[in-house]
């Protein structure tokens, strides 16, 4: 159950601008791509992205940050407020930081950074202090632009650390966290940097003697030692070192480290994955989860986020935010289809409830993906599953089902539909192949007639014998009675 008190995020917010276009030729004056027909999308970045993602999770979110009195600051404030984030702006001397990306075909060709330097945030206000005191948990998203050093902030956090979960997401340009954290979430390079800095108390480096392994190597032993150094240095209950596609390594106390692998995925934009991990972990801790469980669940959420396209898949305007990535947008699937067809590829779709995902589901999905160059899953909504399967179903909600499917390497996009069949959705997607798992005759499938309308084809794929959601539920019920 989600805590009704707000998740408070404190940190440096940025405005991200993406200019997306087509790059099909080089400039005559130099070997650089020419980008045509650019469309602009804006979204919050930094702590703003962490707040946006937490709000998309359905949480009450307050963001304490500092914005400039400029157009970028006004756009950023509008983006956050349209997503339901309560904004507490301390004010900034200078301009709001911006990251500008020029992209084509899902790839960044150029990035420009501009905006304020560190040390420009105003002092903590009474409103900010009251909001922090009412929090269910606090996430400090420190991008090294001065917010973590706002007057009064560190003292307030030190007082709250004894009674609230505080998560600190550090940055190479940022300072050291306050002492007594529940969780710190550096990535591997950040952990290496902080572990070898001079100790605040002794002035000596942290990498010598028994801790010497922290100075070199990226193996588990080295990463574990860095995590232990930082846990002692920051008096943190736990340190989770994020490892990108390898998941995370959690150090807590003197016991062995916990390695949490990420699901394999061969696609996706990792931009913002650290913010997604930290905001999810803070949210789970706010709900009362144990630290190890919060970190494990945050790895799943961050992996799903990357597989769904990362920050580039999020667009926010004054009309409101795009839907949560766990309720994927039609536009995401259409983008995958357009890029596949631009390369001359074959578009495959499949559909189903995918409740309690099991080996039979995975087998069908992998077979379907092998038929073409991308796979779009048409997923029955909770209401649709209930009508088809009866009360008590689905066991797993649509957002979680969509997240798990999107994390699979064989799935390129997921679209949730509310009807009993995916016929209307297929009319919009127009796949080349619709793959159906199970025992059917093609003549019994209405999808066959629909696909024939544009020259598509329906194919049947075998299930693995003995694998079904019903059998899993029956087995669980029998074990519960035993």
Residues with a known catalytic role: 275
Contact 223, 235 (CB under 8 A): no
Ramachandran region of residue 361, left (φ > 0), alpha (ψ -120 to 50) or beta? Answer: alpha
Q: In angstroms, what CA-CA distances link 42 with 48, 272, 313, 339, 365?
A: 12, 14, 11, 22, 34
Could you tell me how many residues make up the chain?
482
Q: What does the block give as tokens for 285?
A: 């801790």
Q: Which of 438, 442, 431 is nearest to 378 (CA)?
A: 431
Distance, in Å, from the CA atom of 325 to the CA atom of 355, rounded to the nearest integer, reads 19
Q: Residue 319: count other Cβ atoms within 10 Å of its Cβ.
A: 6
Contact 427, 330 (CB under 8 A): no
Distance, in Å, from the CA atom of 119 to the CA atom of 140, rounded to the nearest integer, reads 16
Q: What does the block give as tokens for 191?
A: 């952990």
Distance, in Å, from the CA atom of 246 to the CA atom of 17, rounded to the nearest integer, reads 29
């Amino acid at each position: 159950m989600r805590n009704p008190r707000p998740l408070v995020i404190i940190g440096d917010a940025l405005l991200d601008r993406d200019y997306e276009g087509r790059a099909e030729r080089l400039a005559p004056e130099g070997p650089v791509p020419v980008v045509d027909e650019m469309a602009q999308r804006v979204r919050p970045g930094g702590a703003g992205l962490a707040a946006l993602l937490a709000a998309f999770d359905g949480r009450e979110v307050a963001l304490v940050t500092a914005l400039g009195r400029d157009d970028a600051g006004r756009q950023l404030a509008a983006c956050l407020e349209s997503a339901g984030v309560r904004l507490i702006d301390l004010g900034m001397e200078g301009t709001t930081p911006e990251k500008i990306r020029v992209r084509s075909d899902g790839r960044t060709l150029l990035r420009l950074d501009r905006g304020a330097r560190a040390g420009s945030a105003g002092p903590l206000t009474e409103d900010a202090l009251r909001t922090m005191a009412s929090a269910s948990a606090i996430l400090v998203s420190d991008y090294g632009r001065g917010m973590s050093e706002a007057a009064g902030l560190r003292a307030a956090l030190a007082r709250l650390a004894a009674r609230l979960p505080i998560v600190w997401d550090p940055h190479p340009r940022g300072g050291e966290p306050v002492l007594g954290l529940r969780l710190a979430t550096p990535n591997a390079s950040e952990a290496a940097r902080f572990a070898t800095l001079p100790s605040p108390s002794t002035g000596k480096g942290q990498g010598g003697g028994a801790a010497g392994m922290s100075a070199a190597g990226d193996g588990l032993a080295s990463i574990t030692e860095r995590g232990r150094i930082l846990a002692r240095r920051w008096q943190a209950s736990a340190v989770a070192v994020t490892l990108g596609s390898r998941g995370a390594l959690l150090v807590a106390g003197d016991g062995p480290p916990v390695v949490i692998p990420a699901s394999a995925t061969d696609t996706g934009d990792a931009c913002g994955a650290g913010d997604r991990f930290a905001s999810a972990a803070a949210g789970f801790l706010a709900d009362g989860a144990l630290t190890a469980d919060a970190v494990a669940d945050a790895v799943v959420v961050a992996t799903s986020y990357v597989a769904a396209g990362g920050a580039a898949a999020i667009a926010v305007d004054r009309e409101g935010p795009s839907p949560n990535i766990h309720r994927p947008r039609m536009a995401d699937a259409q983008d995958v289809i357009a890029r596949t067809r631009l390369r001359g590829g074959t578009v495959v779709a499949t559909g189903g409830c995918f409740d309690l995902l099991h080996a039979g589901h995975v087998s069908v999905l992998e077979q379907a993906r092998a038929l073409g160059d991308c796979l779009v899953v048409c997923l029955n909504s909770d209401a649709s599953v209930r009508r088809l399967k009866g009360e008590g179903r689905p066991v797993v909600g649509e957002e979680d089902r969509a997240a798990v499917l999107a994390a699979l390497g064989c799935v390129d996009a997921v679209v949730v539909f509310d009807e009993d069949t995916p016929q209307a959705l297929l009319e919009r997607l127009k796949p080349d192949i619709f793959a159906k798992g199970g025992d059917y005759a093609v003549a019994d499938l209405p999808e066959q007639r629909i696909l024939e309308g544009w020259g598509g084809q329906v194919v049947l794929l075998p299930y693995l014998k003995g694998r079904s959601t019903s059998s899993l539920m029956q087995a669980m019920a029998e074990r519960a009675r035993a």
